[in-house]
Every structure is written in structure tokens, then in C-alpha cells.
């Protein structure tokens, strides 16, 4: 599918209208930005260069922005927003553009403010483990920098080679290390941010304890650029583990997966750093898309990837060996393999980290990110699969091309009850979307879950937040938005 085949979001969702208060971009506006930004390359208006900023990577959303700005300093961000606020020009902040809900893509002609040029490490204290860096630093670059200094970034994602740490904080990304290190609400110590009127919030705290009034940084973590633009972060980074083990298992039922999770917490305890669930169909899709050889000889309905991290390899290996003997001896798992070195570990991790790309490989994918009580964790996938089978819309990869849906699959972070439900499709189709929404959100509401565990709301879920928040909470959020952004120019 080429970018030309991706429909404009405004055409796909004709009921969504451009706010008539917002001004149209003029040549005078572009000339002004050229004057206030330090480099000619910071102002992009050529149509051929704009496409990558206007289209999301799963090729579901496509905006019509005529201008991308790439400021290099917080002062330049401030000058941009001050002008846009005065002129009623709507803006969309953008990091690595790896989001999955359309939150960093314009819907109409909003100006894109890319943080890609703000990509410096400002400081690192190897005693406290506190890193201060620009928002545009790529996650993998930050992690590599820290590893050279005996630490790691407390967040890990499959998109780490492209995503920006500022975008991670702005969306409160969860990822693969949350089980061990917690959420960004706990590890981020401070932020530098620019408000819609150009005011700069200098709050790059390096203190773990500061009980002096409102904890302002929390307002920006997970706000998705709706009340300001994060330009810098300070974050607590843990020591790198000396002993890391990775194992991959096949299981015959979800009940066995739950038994294994209980055993993992009991036997591995403090060294358990990841417990990732993937159903069998996800592994088949990844195998087809990548051409890689399956890790195990046989196929299973469920697969689990476990990682342990600790400081004593002998101690950790003994705990892992005891755990393996237990789950194999009690026939909780049917088969498994343990990585013998880092290369093998990375190979096993590809069967989890490569799933988002594999599911979008054949045309696109409808992606959902839920928090669900563990007892109901996989029931949603089964119910959704049954719904599509009854509708007669499903055919496997090598099957009937006239049917849009390839399958319904689920994977996720079992350790924090976070399910990623995906519906890989040959093409985006309104009939498919109507079967999914709002049915999925109603299902989640009945289980007292959340419609967004870690991806955020973005464009995809902004009209469904009432399924996870009560009216009072929604009204308070509206008041906060009006207070920070009375003209509504931020990521409208």
C-alpha cells in the first residue's frame, strides 16, 4: 500500500469538522517562522517532504499539514507557540511518529511541530542515576548511552529505534519493563515544557522527594500534547542488570498461562522483569511476514516469553532452573527454550517485539490497547474472534482476498494486565470498524477495564473516553484543558 492510497482522515471520518476558529496558514506565517528559527532546514513546506509527517506508520491516518517546523531549542518552541496562539494557528506536536492511535498526526491542516532536532543528552549523574535530556532523543539512543555507563532507561518498546523519549512521556508509554520498574509517572522526576502561550515551564527536578505543592510534571505525562509541548525530561534510570535470562514457552490453554504466571511470581520473585503473552496466531503471522523459523518444534495455542534480571548470575540461574523444573514437571508448559547468549535472547524477543509490524504487513491492522482483569484477559480476543467469524469477514493470509479480515489476535504484558488486541486486515473497511466500535469499549466497560492502557487516546479513542472515565473526571479534564489552552490550538 503506497502513501497515496491512504485516505485523508478528514475523508474517512466526514463527521469530524475543522474548527472554524482556526486560521488558514499564509505565506506571511511561513516567512515569520523562517525569521524566528535558526536554520532554513527547520521550516519544511515542500509537499514531497511533508508526507512522512502527515501519515502514521500503520497507514490508517493521514493529515493535510502544509508546514512542519523543527525547532532546535526550547526558546524556538516558545516563539512558535506564542505566534500560533496569537494567530489562532492549530498545532500538532510530533516525536518519532510511532504512535498507534493517530495522536501525532494532523487531522486537517494543523502545523506539525517536530521535536526531532532537539536530541541532546544534557547531563547524567552516575551516582543518582538521573538522566536529563531533550525530548527528541531516540529511546534506543538514550538506552545505549546509559548502558555504556552501567545503567538502562526504565522503559523499553518495540519501536525504540524510532520513538522519542518526549513522546514516550507525553503518551505515558508502558512497554516491556513496566513490570519491573513501574510507569513513567514514577520514574520521571521533572519536565521542561512550553505552554500554548509560549510560557516555558522550567521544572527539570532531580529530586526524588519534593513535597512543595502540586506535582506539575504529572499534568504533562500522558496528556498527549494537549496542554503543552514537552521539550526536556529528567528521569531516574536503574542500574543495568549483570545477569539477564530469556526463555520462551508453548502452552496449551490460557488457564495454563495463568498457572504459569502465578508460579513465576512465586519462584522468580524479585528477578522477574517481563512476562509477555502471545497467542498462537500472532506467531503464525510473524512467521509468515518475517520468514523466521519458529523457536519451538511444535505449534501451541499460547506462548509466553519470560525475562529475569538480577545482579548475581549464579543465584538467578538457580531460581530459573527451579522454576523450569516446576512448570515442566507439573505439565503447566508443554515445551520451552532458554536463550544461551544475548544473540539468542534478541532472536526470541523478536517474536514479541515484531508483532505490531507483522500484523500491519498485509494491508493494515486495527489496534486496541486495553487494561483488563487477568481472569478475563483473553476472553475478549475469543469473543471478538467469534463476532467476526459469524459475520463471515475472516479468511487467513493465503485465503479469500475478498474478505477484509485476516484474523483476530492478542498479545500483551501479562504482568500488568495490558492486552493488545489486533485485527490484521487486507484493507481498512467501515464494516470491520463498525463491528469493533463501540462494541469493544462496551465490553471493556462491563469488565471495569480501561480502553487505553498505554497507547493513549489520540484521534482513535478521543470520542470513547467516557467508557473508562466518569462525568466528573471528564469535566475536570475539560477545565484543565481550558485553563492551559483557552484557544484550543494544541493537538485539537
Check whether 2 has a pLDDT greater than 80.
Answer: no
Quote the pLDDT of residue 448. 94
| Predicted confidence (pLDDT) per residue in 224-238, tens digit | 999 999 999 999 999
Quote the pLDDT of residue 100. 86
Integer Cα distance of 272 and 245 in angstroms: 10
Q: What percent of the chain has pLDDT over 70?
A: 99
Quote the pLDDT of residue 343. 97
Mean pLDDT lowest among 310-319, 420-429, 463-472: 310-319
Instruction: State the DSSP string of 415-466.
Output: GGTEEEEEEEESS--HHHHHHHTTHHHHHHHHTT-BSBSSS--TTTSGGGGG
Looking at the DSSP assignment, which residues form a beta bridge with residue 164? Answer: 138
Q: Would you say domain 121-236 falls under CATH 3.20.20.70?
A: no
| Predicted confidence (pLDDT) per residue in 59-109, tens digit | 899 999 999 999 999 999 999 999 999 999 999 999 999 998 999 999 999
Instruction: State the DSSP string of 77-146.
Output: HHHHHHHHHHHT--EEEESSS--SSSTTS-SSSPEEEE-TT---EEEEETTTTEEEEETT-BHHHHHHHH
| Predicted confidence (pLDDT) per residue in 113-166, tens digit | 999 999 999 999 999 999 999 999 999 999 999 999 999 999 999 899 999 999
Reported as a pLDDT band with limits 50, 70 and 90, residue 57 is: confident
Reported as a pLDDT band with limits 50, 70 and 90, residue 15 is: very high
Reported as a pLDDT band with limits 50, 70 and 90, residue 5 is: confident
Average pLDDT of the segment spanning 33-53: 96
CATH fold match for the domains 243-355 and 362-461: yes
| Predicted confidence (pLDDT) per residue in 257-302, tens digit | 999 999 999 999 999 999 999 999 999 999 999 999 999 999 999 9
Reported as a pLDDT band with limits 50, 70 and 90, residue 175 is: confident
Is the alpha carbon torsion for 264, 268, 270, 272 positive or negative? negative
Residue 17, H or E segment: none
Quote the pLDDT of residue 390. 98
CB 463 within 8 A of CB 434: no
- What CATH number should be reported for the domain whose range is 362-461? 3.30.70.2740
- How many CB atoms are closer than 10 A to CB 471? 8
Which residues, 6+ apart, have CB-to-CB distance to 320 below 8 Å?
245, 247, 268, 308, 338
Domain at 3-114, CATH from 3.30.43.10, 3.40.50.300, 3.90.1150.10, 3.40.50.720: 3.30.43.10
Quote the pLDDT of residue 453. 87
Check whether 1 has a pLDDT greater than 70.
Answer: no
Average pLDDT, the chain: 96
Sorted by where each begins, the domain ranges of the chain are: 3-114, 121-236, 243-355, 362-461
Integer Cα distance of 440 and 451 in angstroms: 9
Quote the pLDDT of residue 176. 86
Domain at 243-355, CATH from 1.20.120.330, 3.40.1670.10, 3.40.50.620, 3.30.70.2190: 3.30.70.2190
Quote the pLDDT of residue 160. 95
The grid coordinates of residue 277 equal: 503473552
Amino acid at each position: 500500500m503506497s502513501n497515496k492510497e491512504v485516505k485523508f482522515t478528514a475523508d474517512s471520518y466526514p463527521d469530524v469538522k475543522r474548527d472554524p476558529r482556526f486560521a488558514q496558514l499564509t505565506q506571511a506565517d511561513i516567512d515569520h517562522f523562517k525569521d524566528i528559527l535558526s536554520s532554513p532546514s527547520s521550516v519544511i513546506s515542500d509537499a514531497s517532504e511533508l508526507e512522512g509527517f502527515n501519515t502514521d506508520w500503520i497507514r490508517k491516518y493521514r493529515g493535510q499539514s502544509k508546514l512542519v517546523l523543527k525547532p532546535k531549542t526550547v526558546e524556538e518552541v516558545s516563539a512558535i507557540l506564542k505566534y500560533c496562539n496569537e494567530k489562532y494557528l492549530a498545532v500538532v506536536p510530533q516525536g518519532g511518529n510511532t504512535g498507534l492511535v493517530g495522536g501525532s498526526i494532523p487531522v486537517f491542516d494543523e502545523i506539525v511541530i517536530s521535536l526531532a532536532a532537539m536530541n541532546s543528552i544534557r547531563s547524567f549523574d552516575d551516582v543518582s542515576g538521573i538522566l536529563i535530556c531533550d525530548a527528541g532523543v531516540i529511546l534506543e539512543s538514550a538506552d545505549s548511552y546509559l548502558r555504556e555507563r552501567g545503567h538502562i532507561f526504565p522503559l523499553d518498546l518495540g519501536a525504540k529505534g524510532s520513538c522519542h523519549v518526549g513522546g514516550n512521556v507525553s503518551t505515558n508509554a508502558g512497554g516491556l519493563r513496566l513490570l519491573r520498574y513501574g510507569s513513567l509517572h514514577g520514574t520521571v522526576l521533572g519536565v521542561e515544557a512550553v505552554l500554548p502561550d509560549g510560557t516555558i515551564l522550567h521544572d527539570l527536578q532531580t529530586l526524588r522527594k519534593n513535597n512543595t505543592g502540586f506535582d506539575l510534571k504529572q499534568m504533562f505525562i500522558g496528556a498527549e500534547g494537549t496542554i503543552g509541548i514537552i521539550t526536556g525530561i529528567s528521569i531516574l534510570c536503574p542500574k543495568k542488570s549483570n545477569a539477564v535470562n530469556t526463555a520462551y514457552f508453548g502452552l496449551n490453554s490460557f488457564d495454563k498461562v495463568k498457572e504459569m504466571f502465578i508460579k513465576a511470581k512465586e519462584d522468580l520473585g524479585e528477578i522477574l522483569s517481563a512476562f509477555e503473552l502471545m497467542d498462537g496466531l500472532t506467531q503464525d503471522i510473524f512467521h509468515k511476514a518475517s520468514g523466521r523459523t519458529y523457536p519451538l518444534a511444535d505449534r501451541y495455542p499460547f506462548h509466553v516469553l519470560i525475562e529475569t534480571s538480577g545482579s548475581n548470575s549464579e543465584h538467578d540461574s538457580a531460581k530459573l532452573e527451579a522454576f523450569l523444573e516446576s512448570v515442566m514437571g507439573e505439565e503447566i508448559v508443554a515445551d520451552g527454550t532458554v536463550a544461551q547468549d544475548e544473540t539468542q535472547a534478541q532472536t526470541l524477543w523478536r517474536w514479541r517485539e515484531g508483532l505490531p509490524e507483522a500484523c500491519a504487513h498485509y494491508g493494515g491492522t486495527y489496534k486496541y490497547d486495553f487494561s483488563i482483569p487477568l481472569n478475563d484477559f483473553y476472553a475478549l480476543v475469543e469473543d471478538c474472534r467469534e463476532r467476526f467469524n459469524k459475520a463471515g469477514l475472516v479468511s487467513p493470509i493465503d485465503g479469500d482476498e475478498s474478505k477484509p479480515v485476516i484474523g483476530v489476535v492478542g498479545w500483551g504484558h501479562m504482568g500488568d494486565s495490558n492486552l493488545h488486541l489486533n485485527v490484521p486486515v487486507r484493507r481498512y473497511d467501515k464494516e470491520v470498524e463498525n463491528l469493533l466500535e463501540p462494541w469493544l469499549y462496551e465490553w471493556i466497560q462491563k469488565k471495569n477495564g480501561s480502553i487505553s492502557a498505554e497507547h493513549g487516546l489520540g484521534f482513535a479513542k478521543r470520542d470513547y473516553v467516557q467508557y473508562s472515565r466518569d462525568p466528573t473526571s471528564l469535566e475536570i479534564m475539560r477545565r484543565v484543558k481550558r485553563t492551559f489552552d483557552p484557544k484550543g490550538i494544541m493537538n485539537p
